[in-house]
């Protein structure tokens, strides 16, 4: 429901994982295989020599400094800007208001209800249920309108359709209190807590 670039995140994580795997493999080979260590010493010496020659050919006329450092700084700033833009996209789409409408009553004004009202009310209603291992409620903006995402983790043996009906009843009660019907996505998932956690028993 949110605007988080999941595909881009997976691609970046995959690229980072491949690089870390390659670096780790190289380090292991450098320690365990003498031929690879010898090759690395020769290659690194040649690479360092070529790097120094490159800086020598890119010096400012009459000066010792190389303009290549300026290029590297610009590239670094571009990378930092891209990272900031990528971080700003994470979790995008969250809404702060659940209701924002005009009230044409005797004293005209705006009615605003924050997302915390619905989130806290639903979380409180689901918190003490022994058939749930966890529950989260989040407000997102979908096509310009606020919507709720309710994620519940039932314990083993709990019927999903019964749980969905009970959560829907809670949402309908919330709509009656707010006086507005809110779109809701109910996500029934499973995890380690659902599979291995024991339901509490009341005697």
pLDDT (0 to 100) of residue 202: 33
CA dist 86 and 4 (Å) reads 9
User: What's the rounded mean pLDDT across residues 197-202?
Assistant: 39
More confident residue, 35 or 52: 35
- Give me the percent of the chain exceeding a pLDDT of 90: 14
- Long-range contacts made by residues 103-110, C-beta under 8 angstroms, separation at least 24? none
- Contact call for residues 113 and 98 (beta carbons, < 8 A): yes
Short-list 117, 135, 118, CA closest to 126:
135
Tens of pLDDT along 64-119? 777 888 888 999 999 999 888 877 776 666 777 777 667 676 667 777 777 778 78
Of the candidate CATH numbers 3.30.300.30, 2.120.10.70, 3.40.50.10300, 3.40.50.2300, the domain formed by 97-196 belongs to 3.30.300.30
Domain-by-domain residue ranges, the chain? 6-88, 97-196
59-68: b (≥16 Cβ within 10 Å) or e: eeeeeeebee
């Amino acid at each position: 429901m949110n605007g988080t670039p999941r595909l881009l995140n997976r691609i970046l994580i995959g690229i980072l994982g491949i690089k870390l795997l390659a670096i780790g493999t190289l380090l292991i080979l450098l320690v365990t295989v003498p031929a690879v260590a010898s090759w690395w010493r020769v290659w690194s010496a040649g690479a360092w020599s070529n790097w120094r020659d490159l800086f020598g050919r890119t010096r400012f006329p009459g000066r010792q400094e190389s303009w290549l450092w300026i290029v590297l700084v610009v590239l670094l700033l571009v990378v930092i800007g891209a990272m900031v833009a990528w971080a700003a996209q994470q979790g995008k789409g969250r809404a702060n208001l659940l209701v924002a409408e005009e009230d044409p009553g005797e004293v005209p004004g705006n009615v605003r209800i924050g997302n915390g009202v619905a989130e806290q009310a639903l979380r409180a209603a689901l918190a003490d249920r022994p058939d749930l291992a966890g529950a989260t409620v989040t407000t997102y903006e979908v096509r310009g309108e606020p919507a709720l995402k309710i994620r519940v983790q039932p314990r083993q043996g709990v019927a999903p359709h019964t749980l969905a009906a009970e959560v829907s009843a809670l949402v309908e009660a919330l709509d009656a209190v707010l006086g507005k019907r809110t779109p809701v996505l109910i996500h029934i998932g499973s995890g380690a807590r659902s599979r291995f956690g024991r339901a509490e028993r009341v005697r």
